[in-house]
Chains A and B, each alone.
Chain A
Amino acid sequence: MWELIAQNRRKSIIILIAMLMILVVLGGLIGAYISYPDGWIYGVPGAILIWLIMALVAYNAGDKIILNVSHATQVSKDMYPRLYNIVEEMKIAASLPHMPEIYIMNDSAMNAFATGVKPERSAIVVTAGLIENLSRDELQGVIAHEMGHIINRDVAFMTFAGVLMGSINIISHTFLRAIFFTSVSRRGKLGGKMGKSNPMLFLFTLVFTIIAPILASLFYFAISRKREYLADATAARLTRYPEGLASALEKITSTAGDVAYYNKITAPMFIINPLYSRDLTSGSSTVNFSTHPPTHERIRILRTLHGKGHVSMREYQSVYANHRKGDSSLIPDSGLKDNTPTSIRQPFAGDTQSHKKTLREVGDLLMAANGFYFLPCSCGLNIKVPPEMEKKHIQCPRCGTALTVPSIGSQQNFSQNQMSQLGAIVGAVAGGTATAATTALNTGPLSFTKKSADRWETFTCSCGSPIQLSPLFKARQIRCKSCRKKITINYPE
């Protein structure tokens, strides 16, 4: 496997150098155009500076930026164990020392991607649609594929190459716009000083600026396609069940639907490129420009591998070579050495949860992450209130019960009021004994009683911050995250 990474790295470096050359030439030419003929002295370092700044940002905050623009929500183990367990399982199978963070994108389209420049700071992002529609085996296949990207160090490369491609794009677009807008306003001066004294160089600059982004993306896409096969091979090895990923890929491509938050840079990171999702099934003429190999081919290779009854990297390689007419350059020999084939495992049997239940589970999770209040009514209706809603009193439209967003503070106030009313009466008779009772209530333990055992529930702490109890919360006490107060949780009989 180390050989694999090293080979990948060598190739990556060659590609990165080629892309860097494009950037340097581009910077030089544009510099020369702006201040003819010696401007290239500033142009080259200028372009590199733009790239360095962007790379620095990507290295330090790239993953956070990507997660932000993707509108992804982080999930913890107690929020969604089904997904967490699969990721943990694959993390152990891949002997990855760090658990990747898990994020869910609130999107009904099915897709997934991995991010993070360093393996110890990686994250796996899946869309809600993916968890809702895939079986456990299929989901495991997708997670293993993303895990493959992490352990093969694809994420780091793709991020840097992506930044490089982005810098080239920005520089060339800015230049082209500037040139065409100024030439329109000052007619007849197209090309400036450079155009007058060296029209050939000007023409070359213009053509190069136009083709540079195309060239850069060709390099970028060429390497990313092979990485997809490699991640598929890794997924087959980790799951010992190639059919899982194959049928997941089939499901993902067959459902039309676009991920709402992606752009040209993040698109190649998805398991199925959202920009090309419609063309991939036919595997048509977009082949050279697509970041991902035609999905039907990936599925065919995985299915053939599954049919063999056992998996290993070597096995994948030979199937790949068969399908790709003898192309055996996917995995270097040393990567195949200590790869004893393991037999295909049985499909996972315990997947009995209904589609409807899974849909609700994921929906509730996303609502909880977005701060919705969960108010179960005793008639069985669950009311989920968005955090922006100011109404705290709601009448159940099913049974008419008046519901209040429960807060331990208000429960206490209520009994306190009752007590002081009572105290007033008692006090009138016996004189001031009620004060002791109210004080006791004030300092007494805070508690909240859950209405149902298997539902999300929300209440407000006496400090005013809401507390979400997941359906899996079974403990006797919870600590308020903002005021650190301990709150006792009681359960229905």
Chain B
Amino acid sequence: MLHCPVCKKEGLVVLEFDDIEIDYCLTCKGIWLDAGEMDLMIGNAEQAKQILESFESVSAKSINEKERPCPICDKKMEKIVIHTVEDQIVDRCRDGHGIWFDHGELHSILDNAKKDGEASAIVSFLKDILERDLQK
């Protein structure tokens, strides 16, 4: 069982739709996007890796946010910036296992993401699978 990096002791449940899975915390509603599942969403491992690596990292201290452990390897994740209308800081595993989105971050990113961007497949998948969650 993977553990939520925010709620720590809380386990993540697996949500599967159309043969693709994401890990989801029932308590804080954050999601873990596994690198392998990103491959499946985009359908191209190379491109998925590029997207995963494309974000620039910022030091946790400068933005005053706590470092969180990767649910897979338990090592501290790095903070990265995702540019939409306003910049969002999310956590990425340094060993490339995946990305963690807090509920609020995800909401804003999905609302403002470009419809034709490289990651559009991921955006539309997440919008679909979390439809009800994002309305609130």
Contacts and interface: CB of A to CB of B under 8 A. Distances in A.
B60 interface: no
Contacts of A354: 19
Contacts of B131: 397-399
Contacts of A395: 132
A327 B5 CA distance: 58
B16 interface: yes
B19 A389 contact: no
Nearest to A363: B21
Contacts of B81: none
A385 B26 CA distance: 10
Given A386-B1, A398-B130, A398-B132, A356 B14 contact: no
A386 B26 contact: no
A400 B36 CA distance: 27
Interface string B2-13: 000000000111
B17 A380 contact: yes
B132 A396 contact: yes
Given A384-B16, A397-B132, A398-B132, 13 more contacts: A360-B16, A382-B15, A382-B17, A385-B14, A386-B1, A386-B13, A388-B11, A389-B26, A391-B26, A396-B132, A398-B17, A398-B129, A400-B132
Contacts of B128: 398
Interface string B114-133: 00000000000000111111
Contact of A357 (B11, B19, B24, B130): B19
12 contacts: A360-B16, A363-B21, A382-B17, A384-B13, A387-B1, A388-B11, A389-B13, A397-B24, A397-B29, A397-B133, A398-B129, A398-B130
A280 B26 CA distance: 45
A383 B19 CA distance: 12
Interface of B: 1, 11-21, 24, 26, 29, 36, 40, 128-133
Interface in A390-427: 391, 394-400
Contacts of A394: 13, 26
Contacts of A380: 17-18
B16 A388 contact: no
A397 B130 contact: yes
A108 interface: yes
A396 B11 CA distance: 16
A397 B129 contact: yes
A367 interface: yes
Contacts of A218: none
A114 B70 CA distance: 33
Interface in A267-318: none
Contacts of B16: 360, 381-384
Nearest to A354: B19
A5 interface: no
Interface of A: 108, 354, 356-357, 359-360, 363, 367, 372, 380-389, 391, 394-400
Nearest to B2: A386
A359 B130 CA distance: 22
Nearest to A372: B14
Given A396-B132, A397-B133, A398-B131, A359 B40 contact: yes
Nearest to A355: B40
A323 B50 CA distance: 42
B98 to A, nearest CB: 13
Tell me which of B1, B16, B20 has the highest count of chain A C-beta atoms within 10 A of its own C-beta.
B16
A384 B13 CA distance: 6
B132 A359 contact: no
A395 to B, nearest CB: 8
A108 B18 CA distance: 21
Tell me which of A359, A382, A391, A397 has the highest count of chain B C-beta atoms within 10 A of its own C-beta.
A397
A367 B13 CA distance: 11
Nearest to A455: B16
A108 B36 contact: yes
Contacts of B12: 386
A385 B13 contact: yes
Tell me which of B11, B14, B18, B131 has the highest count of chain A C-beta atoms within 10 A of its own C-beta.
B14
A357 to B, nearest CB: 6
A367 B133 CA distance: 25
Contacts of A400: 132
A10 to B, nearest CB: 48
Nearest 3 Cβ contacts at the A-B interface:
A386-B1, A384-B14, A400-B132
B11 to A, nearest CB: 5
Contact of A381 (B1, B36, B40, B129): B129
A356 B18 CA distance: 9
Tell me which of A388, A398, A400 has the highest count of chain B C-beta atoms within 10 A of its own C-beta.
A398
Contact of A389 (B11, B15, B40): B11
A400 B133 CA distance: 8
Contacts of B21: 360, 363, 384
Given A398-B128, A400-B132, A381 B13 contact: no
